[in-house]
Amino acid sequence: MKFQYKNDEIQLLNEQDVKVGYALIPFEDEKTINIRKVFVDPSMRGGGVASQVMDEVYAFAKKEGLKVTPTCPYAVAWFKRKKDKQDILSDTEASPACPI
């Protein structure tokens, strides 16, 4: 599997280049992205794939010098579990639910 960056998404593609997961990450401002949604195909859930998508979001934000506001409940929970990844969190308070 591989990751692809397209518009406001980090997409996870399978070996046939079919999108099987993604994180929707629109910019809030020049230096902040909002993790609005994390999705993984139902056939791949429960195997840590969503966490891999979040790891890629983290790596992207670090590389680009961005801050992150998680509003998707999965992303909020992921950052609570991953204390070592909280250095990229913005000062903006996360919403308790996805705005979508």
Cβ contacts of residue 66 below 8 Å, gap of 6+? 31, 32, 33, 60, 88
**d(Cα 66, Cα 89) in Å, to the nearest integer?**
9
Q: Has residue 100 got a pLDDT over 60?
A: no
Domain boundaries, the chain: 2-88
Give me the mean pLDDT over the 48-68 stretch: 96
Global pTM reads 0.87
Give the pLDDT of residue 94.
Answer: 54
pLDDT confidence of residue 93: 57
- CATH number for the domain formed by residue range(s) 2-88: 3.40.630.30
Predicted confidence (pLDDT) per residue in 12-50, tens digit: 999 999 999 999 999 999 999 999 999 999 998 999 999
Checking if the pLDDT of 70 tops 70, the result is yes
Asked if residue 92 has pLDDT above 80, the reply is: no
Which phi and psi (to 5°) does residue 29 adopt?
-155, -170
Higher pLDDT, residue 67 or 93: 67
Count CA atoms within 13 Å of residue 31 on its CB side.
7
